[in-house]
Structure formats: structure tokens, C-alpha cells
């Protein structure tokens, strides 16, 4: 081949080497003095600080490679992660990576369509404003940790396999919308210390606990699908928060737990095939309106002076619709009870006779003092009790004729009370016997409650 013919091939090869070969990785570590834009492959050779007045933008398709767990990204200025569906930003990190920390940053940062996997924490914040969209978090200790006074919006993101998905503390606020949470070892979402927000349109599946609330949580948990978690929502000392509405709970050990002076509004939800749909314990007294409880082991379990208000619900084909124990006296009116194996059962400690003769309030206060509890809500604990669990004013479906035949003092097989277990003894009280309470079911309704159950959306 002649020299003239070879020359064009030489220049084509040279151009390919210049433009077609992979670009060398950029390396960063230390303080960014000016606005920066990362793209391609970026290797962190040390921690990176984004100071006030500086913005770091990370372009679509960028891979950020972190060499050591303690090489974090500290944001005091602004961060813009601008991945797309087709070209997400990938954070390739070692185990126990300390992540991106927002420390009282200026302005509003965004993380769009990024991918994180395998760190101690991926994103943490102090007094930060942050929006995340289309982002995936897999396998962290805590994926997103709002330490103090943060404002977070999460949209269409995916959280999987961490201990905690999102943690909210110290007056932080979060909107969590249309996202998925699965397989979290502790809790998908945890809120404490005066945090608030809204959780709407999400799917929670196969988590140890989907949502855990410690203390008040002003806001709503609405239009979510909870399935196959061990616990769906756990409220502890949440008082009259949150509003829990229009959710679907199925296949849980406990779908909703209201513990220790938690009395949220629970309305228009569907509880299907849970071992226990709702558990109220230690003065947990929710307002329960317009819900459907169907095919559960126990629909509503009340223990230790829990007095929820149950009105205009449908209880259908549960093994046990309502359980009361240890001086729990719910208000139960205008509900439809249809085809439940057992309608109402009183536990061994459901005895106003015991409360009147011995009383448990003193024991509760004594135990609180021994634990050095300073919970002011203990002063609200009830100190007077009836011997009646009143479920009158409800409709009992095909069993209405059985009620009519038995009369108001009849002993019916679908009510378990002192007709079935007249006297009880308690460990530590010697041979003394106490009288169990009774279920009062008359007068009953002659027709179903027309607007019971979740309202139909127009």
C-alpha cells in the first residue's frame, strides 16, 4: 500500500485515540473555591466541602467513586444532582460510607435520579432544605437522616434493604410522596422529637415496621398501601396525631398500634387479612370512623385502659371483631357487624369489680415513679369504671334474630363475658375472686348503618 493511502488511516486512528477513548477520571478532595460541574467519572480522594456561596452541579450519567468510608461530601452551599431516568448519577461507595452531609446550607438543594448503595448513611442534614426525586437508596444503616430542623420533599423514590429508610428528628418536616419502601430491618420511616409532615401515595412492603412515630406528629398518613410488614404504623405517645386516612393495610402481624396515650383519628381505611388490625394499649384510644375490617384475626384489640371511639365501621368475617382487657371500655356505636366468628370477647383482667375493690391506678403510678417516669399524661388515667362493655346501638346482620330470641340478658355464643367466665383470680392476690364484666348489646339496630365503612370517592 502506498504512503498516500496509509496517511488517511493514520489520521483516523489518531482522531479515535484523541476523542473516542474513555476520559480519565477527575479527582477531587478538599474545599471547592468556585462553582463546579462534575461529569463523567469523578473520584473522591478526600472529603469535599461545598462552602457558602458555591454550587456543585453533578451532570446526568456521572459516576462518583468514593475511595474511603470517611470521604464525605459536606454541603454548606448548594448541591444540584441532575440525573435523569436514562442517565442516573451513580454513587459508587465503600461499605459504611458517611455520605452527603448538609450542614446549615444556604438555599435549596436537589438530588434527582441518583443511585446509592451500601453506606452507613447516604444523606444527613442539619437545618437543610432538600428535594429528592426518582432516587434509589439501597442497603444503608440509615438512608436519609434529618437530624435537626430540616425540610425534605421526596417524590417517586425507592428505598430498600436499609435498617431505616428516612429518620426525622428535632422539628424536621417531610413530605413523602409516591415512593416505595421495602425490606427495612428497623423501620422504613421514623419520626421523633417534634417532627411533622405528610406521607401520601406510597407503598410499604416487607418491612419490620413501616412507620414509627414517637411523640406528636402533626400531619397525615394518607392513601398509602401497607402490605406484609410485621407492623404497619406504630404510634407511641402521639396524642391526637396523626390523621390516618384512606390507607390499605393487609397481611400484618399488627397493622396499626396506638400505644401510651396515642389517640389519632383513623378514618376511611381498609384492614384486610391482618393477624391484628388495630391494637390499642396503655391508654391508646383512637377515634375510629368509617373503616372496613375484613378477614382479620382480631379487628380491634384494646388493652390496659384503652377506650377508642368506634363509629360507622364495618366489621366483616373477622375471627374476633372486638377484644377488651384490663379495664378497657370503648365507645361502640352505629357499626355493622357481619359474619364475625366471635363478635366481642372480654379478657381475664376486664373487671370493674377488681378496679373498685383493689384499683390499678395506684399500681400504675407506683410503677411510673419506680421508673422515674415524668409523663404528665399519666394524670389523665381513668379512675372510675363501669362493669359494662356497651356495644348497644349496632347492627348485627343475620344475628339480629338471635338477639331478639335471646333478649337483652341472653347468653350468646358470639359474646364472651361473665356469662361464660363468672369469676377470675389473679396471680399475687391469693384466693380472692373477682367478677368479670359483661357485654351489653341491647338495644340493637334493626337495619344496617347506611353510611358505614369507607366513603366511596366520586
Q: What pLDDT does 161 receive?
A: 97
Number of alpha helices (DSSP H) and beta strands (DSSP E) in the chain: 4, 47
pLDDT exceeds cutoff 70 at 4:
no
Q: What pLDDT does 410 receive?
A: 86
Q: What pLDDT does 386 receive?
A: 82
Question: What pLDDT digit, counting tens, does each position of 86-131 carry?
Answer: 999 999 999 999 999 999 999 999 999 999 999 999 999 999 999 9
Question: What pLDDT digit, counting tens, does each position of 261-273 carry?
Answer: 999 999 999 999 9
Cell of 250: 393487609
Q: Is beta strand 73-75 parallel, antiparallel or unpaired with respect to 41-50? A: parallel
Q: How confident is the model at residue 297 (pLDDT cuts 50, 70, 90)?
A: very high
CA 344 to mean position of chain CA atoms: 28
Rounded to whole angstroms, the Cα distance separating 78 from 318 reads 54
Q: What pLDDT does 376 receive?
A: 53
Q: How confident is the model at residue 381 (pLDDT cuts 50, 70, 90)?
A: low
Q: Quick count: other Cβ atoms within 10 Å of Cβ 76?
A: 17
pLDDT exceeds cutoff 50 at 2:
no
**Mean pLDDT score, 353-360:** 80
- Answer yes or no: are the C-beta atoms of 23 and 40 closer than 8 Å: yes
* pTM, two decimal places: 0.90
Q: What pLDDT does 3 receive?
A: 40
- List all residues 6 or more positions away from 244 whose beta carbon is below 8 Å from its beta carbon: 220, 221, 222, 233, 256, 264, 265, 266, 267, 269
Q: Over the range 352-390, which residues count as b (16 or more CB within 10 Å of their CB) and which as e? A: bbbbeeeebbeebeeeeeeeeeeeeebeebeeebebebb
- Answer yes or no: are the C-beta atoms of 265 and 239 closer than 8 Å: no
CA-based torsion, 44, 46, 52, 53: positive or negative:
negative
**Mean pLDDT score, 313-321:** 98
Question: What pLDDT digit, counting tens, does each position of 143-187 carry?
Answer: 999 999 999 999 999 999 999 999 999 999 999 999 999 999 999
Rounded to whole angstroms, the Cα distance separating 247 from 455 reads 12
Q: What pLDDT does 428 receive?
A: 81
Give 315's strand partners: 293, 337
pLDDT exceeds cutoff 60 at 422:
yes
Rounded to whole angstroms, the Cα distance separating 206 from 227 reads 7
pLDDT exceeds cutoff 50 at 338:
yes
CA 303 to mean position of chain CA atoms: 22
Closest CA to 34 of 8, 11, 57: 57
Q: Is CATH 2.160.20.10 correct for 23-207?
A: yes
Q: How confident is the model at residue 342 (pLDDT cuts 50, 70, 90)?
A: very high
Q: What pLDDT does 269 receive?
A: 98
Question: What pLDDT digit, counting tens, does each position of 52-84 carry?
Answer: 999 999 999 999 999 999 999 999 999 999 999
**Most confident by average pLDDT, 8-17, 28-37, 292-301:** 292-301
Percent of the residues in the chain that have a pLDDT greater than 90, as a whole number: 82
pLDDT exceeds cutoff 60 at 370:
no
Rounded to whole angstroms, the Cα distance separating 119 from 334 reads 52
Rounded to whole angstroms, the Cα distance separating 384 from 201 reads 42
φ and ψ of 212, to 5 deg? -120, 125
Q: What pLDDT does 371 receive?
A: 47
Per 3-state DSSP, what percentage of the chain is helix, strand, and coil (rounded to 5)? 10, 45, 45
Q: Over the range 120-140, which residues count as b (16 or more CB within 10 Å of their CB) and which as e? A: bbbbbbbbbbbebbbbbbbbb
Q: What pLDDT does 24 receive?
A: 74
Q: What pLDDT does 368 receive?
A: 46
Task: Please state, rounded to an integer, the average pLDDT across all residues of the chain.
Answer: 90
Q: What pLDDT does 365 receive?
A: 44
pLDDT exceeds cutoff 50 at 17:
no
The CATH 2.160.20.10 domain(s) of the chain lie at: 23-207
Q: What pLDDT does 456 receive?
A: 55
Cell of 229: 410488614
Q: What pLDDT does 430 receive?
A: 79
pLDDT exceeds cutoff 60 at 325:
yes
Q: What pLDDT does 359 receive?
A: 67
Percent of the residues in the chain that have a pLDDT greater than 70, as a whole number: 89
Amino acid at each position: 500500500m502506498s504512503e498516500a493511502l496509509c496517511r488517511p488511516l493514520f489520521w483516523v486512528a489518531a482522531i479515535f485515540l484523541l476523542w473516542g477513548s474513555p476520559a480519565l477520571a477527575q479527582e477531587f478532595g478538599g474545599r471547592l473555591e468556585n462553582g463546579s460541574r462534575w461529569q463523567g467519572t469523578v473520584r473522591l480522594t478526600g472529603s469535599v466541602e461545598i462552602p457558602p456561596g458555591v454550587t456543585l452541579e453533578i451532570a446526568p450519567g456521572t459516576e462518583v467513586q468514593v475511595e474511603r468510608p470517611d470521604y464525605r461530601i459536606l454541603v454548606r452551599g448548594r448541591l444540584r444532582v441532575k440525573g435523569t431516568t436514562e442517565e442516573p448519577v451513580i454513587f459508587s461507595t465503600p461499605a459504611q460510607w458517611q455520605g452527603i452531609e448538609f450542614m446549615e446550607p444556604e438555599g435549596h438543594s436537589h438530588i434527582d435520579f441518583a443511585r446509592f448503595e451500601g453506606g452507613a448513611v447516604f444523606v444527613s442534614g442539619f437545618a437543610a432544605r432538600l428535594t429528592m426525586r426518582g432516587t434509589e437508596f439501597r442497603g444503608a444503616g440509615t438512608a436519609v437522616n434529618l437530624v435537626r430542623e430540616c425540610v425534605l420533599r421526596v417524590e417517586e423514590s425507592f428505598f430498600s434493604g436499609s435498617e431505616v429508610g428516612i429518620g426525622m428528628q428535632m422539628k424536621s418536616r417531610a413530605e413523602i410522596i409516591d415512593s416505595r419502601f421495602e425490606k427495612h430491618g428497623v423501620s422504613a420511616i421514623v419520626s421523633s422529637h417534634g417532627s411533622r409532615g405528610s406521607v401520601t401515595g406510597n407503598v410499604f412492603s416487607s418491612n419490620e415496621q413501616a412507620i414509627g412515630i414517637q411523640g406528636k406528629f402533626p400531619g397525615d398518613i394518607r392513601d398509602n398501601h401497607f402490605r406484609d410488614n410485621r407492623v404497619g404504623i406504630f404510634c407511641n405517645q402521639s396524642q391526637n396525631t396523626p390523621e390516618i386516612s384512606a390507607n390499605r393495610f393487609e397481611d400484618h402481624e399488627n397493622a396499626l398500634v396506638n400505644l401510651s396515650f396515642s389517640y389519632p383519628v383513623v378514618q376511611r381505611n381498609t384492614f384486610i387479612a391482618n393477624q391484628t388490625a388495630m391494637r390499642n394499649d396503655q391508654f391508646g384510644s383512637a377515634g375510629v370512623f368509617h373503616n372496613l375490617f375484613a378477614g382479620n384475626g382480631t379487628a380491634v384489640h384494646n388493652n390496659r385502659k384503652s377506650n377508642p371511639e368506634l363509629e360507622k365501621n364495618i366489621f366483616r368475617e373477622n375471627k374476633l371483631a372486638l377484644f377488651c382487657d384490663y379495664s378497657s371500655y370503648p365507645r361502640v356505636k352505629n357499626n355493622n357487624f357481619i359474619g364475625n366468628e366471635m363478635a366481642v370477647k372480654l379478657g381475664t383482667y376486664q373487671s370493674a369489680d377488681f378496679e373498685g375493690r383493689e384499683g390499678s391506678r395506684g399500681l400504675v403510678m407506683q410503677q411510673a415513679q419506680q421508673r422515674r417516669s415524668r409523663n404528665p399524661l399519666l394524670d389523665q388515667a381513668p379512675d372510675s369504671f363501669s362493669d359494662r362493655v356497651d356495644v348497644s346501638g349496632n347492627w348485627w346482620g343475620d344475628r339480629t334474630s338471635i338477639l331478639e330470641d335471646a333478649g337483652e340478658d341472653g347468653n350468646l355464643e358470639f359474646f364472651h363475658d361473665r356469662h361464660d367466665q363468672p369469676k377470675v383470680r389473679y396471680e399475687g392476690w391469693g384466693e380472692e375472686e373477682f367478677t368479670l364484666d359483661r357485654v351489653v348489646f341491647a338495644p340493637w339496630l334493626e337495619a344496617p348503618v347506611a353510611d358505614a365503612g369507607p366513603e366511596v370517592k366520586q
